[in-house]
């Protein structure tokens, strides 16, 4: 009897315990639901290949640094070789100033004689071995991002200027496997195609201009994006993305990094999107195969003037400002150059001063007569 009683008493205690525990759980649960835990931002690898970009890097790196995204969630993957300018010096200087800010930095900066690969005719010549080299590097970046378990990989070329600091967040919000921001240049060039020929090259279609000029706004399914491409590596299908033709069954395209990538996506049913819902940034018009580097300096000036049409000048951090130079200002063989400007339009004056600095024009600024002020004000 005693034993039975004893066990009943125990089960009562046990029941009590369970109830108290349940209450405890309920109260803990109520407590926790009132706390909003902030999620970490997705981890991103930003990958860029740099060659002979000493003129664009001060702007590119300054804008990269100013992205509104936590640097401890970003890993950088950088490769640079075969330079004939100060590219390596700038990269090293910049990296040593930011290296503790980013989650990790994987950089191989090769100071390499020879200046270029064997079959290259000039700094803008895309020979077969240069394509092979870039294909290998891009694939390596992709593998490295997968190995790091990065959630996103953003390929960003060093002649792209991401002036919208929200770009990375905005692109992630698109929730697409592959997405690119539509970039402006100083002409009809951009980083997306709306058509592809049967032999896989560029084809202009009627959709192109309205998207480029933002007559139509949104995200568009296109056959090609390049130069600034964000990939969501959390998606299983992203494992099929590649830059190497031999990874694709029955590959018939050329050995060209961007074309192979676009075809790999297409074969795996991954649509490519370009978005122009914001002004995200700018891209340089690429050189012709036979151009020399100095042609790229002119392209940069043209683009900077284009930026000034509706934006403030491309920024340069103090660290890198010594690498930016402007032409020696003169009066273009005239005795004097005047800038006549209404005092009440300071933004126009600012813009002309900025343009003339890029172009190397020395001008005398004169206040215009303001008709709105009336005769008395003018005479006084």
Nearer to ligand NAG, 97 or 240 (CB): 240
Q: Are residues 258 and 201 in contact, defined by beta-carbon separation less than 8 angstroms?
A: no
Question: Is there binding between residue 268 and ligand NAG (CB under 6 A)?
Answer: yes
E strand segments, the chain = 44-50, 74-80, 104-109, 152-156, 160-161, 178-181, 192-193, 195-196, 202-203, 219-222, 224-225, 228-232, 272-275, 282-283, 338-341, 364-367
Of 39, 106, 102, the C-alpha closest to 71 is 102
Question: Is there binding between residue 240 and ligand NAG (CB under 6 A)?
Answer: yes
Cα–Cα separations (whole angstroms), residue 3 to 14, 190, 314: 16, 87, 87
- Which of 249, 318, 371, 374 binds ligand NAG (CB under 6 A)? It is 249
Mark the segment that binds ligand NAG (CB under 6 A) among 88-96, 157-165, 178-186, 262-270.
Answer: 262-270
Q: Are residues 108 and 79 in contact, defined by beta-carbon separation less than 8 angstroms?
A: yes
Nearer to ligand NAG, 186 or 232 (CB): 232
The torsion region of residue 275 among left (phi > 0), alpha (psi -120 to 50) and beta comes to beta
Q: Are residues 231 and 241 in contact, defined by beta-carbon separation less than 8 angstroms?
A: yes
Beta-bridged to residue 49, according to DSSP, are: 79
Min. distance of Cβ 234 from ligand NAG in angstroms? 12
Question: Is there binding between residue 266 and ligand NAG (CB under 6 A)?
Answer: yes
Beta-bridged to residue 74, according to DSSP, are: 44
Min. distance of Cβ 142 from ligand NAG in angstroms? 14
Q: Are residues 107 and 137 in contact, defined by beta-carbon separation less than 8 angstroms?
A: no
Question: Is there binding between residue 237 and ligand NAG (CB under 6 A)?
Answer: yes
Nearer to ligand NAG, 152 or 193 (CB): 193
- Which of 92, 130, 146, 267 binds ligand NAG (CB under 6 A)? It is 267
Question: Is there binding between residue 236 and ligand NAG (CB under 6 A)?
Answer: yes
Question: Is there binding between residue 271 and ligand NAG (CB under 6 A)?
Answer: yes
Min. distance of Cβ 218 from ligand NAG in angstroms? 17
Min. distance of Cβ 222 from ligand NAG in angstroms? 8
Q: How many CA atoms lie within 13 A of 370 on its CB side?
A: 11
How many residues sit close enough to ligand NAG to count as binding (CB under 6 A)?
Answer: 12
- Which of 250, 269, 328, 347 binds ligand NAG (CB under 6 A)? It is 269
Min. distance of Cβ 248 from ligand NAG in angstroms? 7
Of 163, 164, 87, 155, the C-alpha closest to 320 is 87
Nearer to ligand NAG, 271 or 315 (CB): 271
Contacting residues toward ligand NAG, per CB under 6 A: 223, 236-237, 239-240, 249, 266-271
């Amino acid at each position: 009897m005693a034993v039975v009683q004893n066990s009943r008493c125990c089960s009562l205690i046990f029941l009590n315990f369970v109830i108290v525990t349940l209450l405890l759980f309920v109260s803990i649960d109520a407590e926790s639901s009132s706390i909003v835990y902030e999620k970490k931002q997705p981890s991103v690898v930003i990958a860029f290949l740099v060659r002979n970009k000493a003129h664009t890097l001060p702007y590119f790196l300054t804008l990269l640094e100013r992205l509104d995204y936590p640097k401890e969630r970003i890993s950088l993957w950088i490769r640079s070789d075969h330079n004939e300018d100060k590219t390596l010096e700038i990269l090293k200087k910049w990296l040593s100033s930011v290296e503790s800010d980013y989650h990790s930095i994987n950089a191989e900066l090769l100071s390499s004689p020879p200046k270029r690969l064997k079959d290259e005719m000039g700094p803008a010549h895309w020979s077969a071995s240069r394509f092979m080299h870039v294909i290998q590097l891009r694939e390596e970046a992709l593998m490295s991002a997968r190995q790091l378990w990065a959630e996103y990989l953003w390929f960003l070329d060093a002649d792209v200027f991401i002036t919208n600091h929200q770009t990375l967040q905005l692109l992630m919000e698109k929730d697409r496997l592959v997405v690119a921001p539509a970039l402006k240049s100083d002409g009809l060039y951009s980083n997306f195609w709306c058509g592809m020929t049967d032999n896989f090259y560029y084809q202009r279609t009627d959709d192109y201009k309205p998207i480029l000029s933002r007559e139509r706004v949104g995200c568009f399914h296109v056959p090609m994006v390049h130069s600034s491409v964000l990939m969501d590596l959390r998606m299983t299908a992203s494992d099929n993305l590649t830059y190497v033709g031999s990874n694709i069954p029955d590959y018939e395209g050329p050995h060209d990094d961007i074309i192979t990538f676009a075809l790999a996506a297409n074969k795996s049913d991954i649509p490519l999107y370009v978005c122009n819902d914001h002004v995200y940034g700018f891209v340089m018009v690429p050189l012709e195969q036979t151009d020399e580097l100095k042609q790229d300096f002119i392209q940069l000036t043209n683009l900077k003037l284009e930026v000034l049409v509706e934006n403030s000048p491309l920024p340069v951090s103090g660290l890198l400002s010594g690498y930016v130079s402007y032409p020696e200002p003169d009066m273009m063989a005239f005795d004097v150059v005047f800038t006549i400007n209404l005092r009440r339009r300071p933004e126009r004056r600012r813009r002309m001063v900025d343009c003339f600095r890029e172009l190397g024009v020395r001008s005398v600024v004169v206040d215009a007569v303001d008709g709105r002020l009336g005769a008395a004000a003018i005479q006084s």
